Amino acid sequence: MLKLRVRSITYEAEGILSYELVDPSGRELPRFDAGAHIDVQIPGGLSRRYSLCNPPGDTGCYRIAVLNAPGGRGGSRAMHEKVNAGDWIEVSEPHNFFPLTADARHTVLLAGGIGITPILAMMEALEAQGRSWELHYCTRDASRTAFRRRFAGPGADPRVTIHHDEGDPSKGLDIVSLLSRHEEGKHLYFCGPAGFMSAVRAATAHWPCEAVHFEYFGAEPPKAAVAGEDAHASELHLLRSDRIVPIEAAETILEALRAAGVECESSCEAGVCGACKTAYSAGTPEHNDYVLGDEERSSYVLVCCARVSEGPLVLEL
């Protein structure tokens, strides 16, 4: 963990503050790439993941932006209410589950609300690399548009379009038209609230899956927490280690593996990063992730959030 100081807190938009975190002795911070996030230890014992929104390569500070969402789980509210300039704050080194691909001919960046944070760093990176990009940024109105000064005003970049829907999705960006055609070499990156994510995923159903990249907010409740309707108690057959592990209906596969002392790689444990992707050859998992496409689900499972629907489930472990 890194022990940093809050150098400044800035009002960015209605309900959104940004925080600049620095090493108190002025040392450079570990480098990060666009799309990276840090885990922040928040007063009250909570840990939350926030995307870094300063330009990659800027190792003088980490900048995050936090929306104090009504109905949130308390982490963002504690950031707004309990963290002050000058405070110490512990954060992880940057991790990146949402990296840019190196070979895109053109990149479409699409942000909904506070989902602008990783997208802003991507825009800065693409611009610094001289690559082709466009950004569509969807917010309710100007007062809720973080980083507005970066995008609007004299000299505003014509590749950036801000769409306000005034609370009525039919007035905002026509996502279906924007994404109606996919050309070779075009990649899409998007991040935003749940309804926005569903709309963009539906609108890109005909795109090749390797051209579509997205990240759900760290604050999004893991699907695993609300899943389990199709899950049953059963067994996991571990092919490589030749073991049988019992699993309860309420357990995720990862929980069952851990209870049996079986090591398995994981990171986000919320079905968003893909670190726990495991091949299976028989049985039916209850998939609860945000990552795998339909085709991949026939042979892979993200064990951190999946349960067993029909067992035994035979895993390449």
Burial classification of residue 41, based on how many CB atoms lie within 10 Å of its CB (0-12 exposed, 13-18 middle, 19 or more buried):
middle
Which of these, 250, 257, 217, 253, lies nearest to 231 by C-alpha position? 250
Measured from each CB, the residue nearest to ligand FES is: 304
Radius of gyration of the chain (CA): 21
Phi, psi of 157 (to 5 degrees): -75, 125
Instruction: Find the binder of ligand FES among 39, 251, 269, 286 (CB under 6 A).
Output: 269
Residue 266 in the binding site for ligand FES (CB under 6 A)? yes
Instruction: Find the binder of ligand FES among 61, 122, 146, 302 (CB under 6 A).
Output: 302
Q: How far apart are CA 4 and CA 147, in angstroms?
A: 23
Stretch that binds ligand FES, among 50-58, 73-81, 204-212, 274-282 (CB under 6 A): 274-282
Residue 253 in the binding site for ligand FES (CB under 6 A)? no
Q: How far apart are CA 213 and CA 45, in angstroms?
A: 31
Nearest-approach distance from CB 303 to ligand FES, in angstroms: 7
Residue 273 in the binding site for ligand FES (CB under 6 A)? yes
Stretch that binds ligand FES, among 18-26, 86-94, 244-252, 265-273 (CB under 6 A): 265-273
Stretch that binds ligand FES, among 150-158, 160-168, 266-274, 309-317 (CB under 6 A): 266-274
Residue 272 in the binding site for ligand FES (CB under 6 A)? yes
Q: How far apart are CA 51 and CA 209, in angstroms?
A: 23
Residue 304 in the binding site for ligand FES (CB under 6 A)? yes
Q: How far apart are CA 192 and CA 115, in angstroms?
A: 4
Task: Return the SS3 of 60.
Answer: coil
Chain residues binding ligand FES by CB under 6 A are 266-269, 271-276, 289, 302, 304
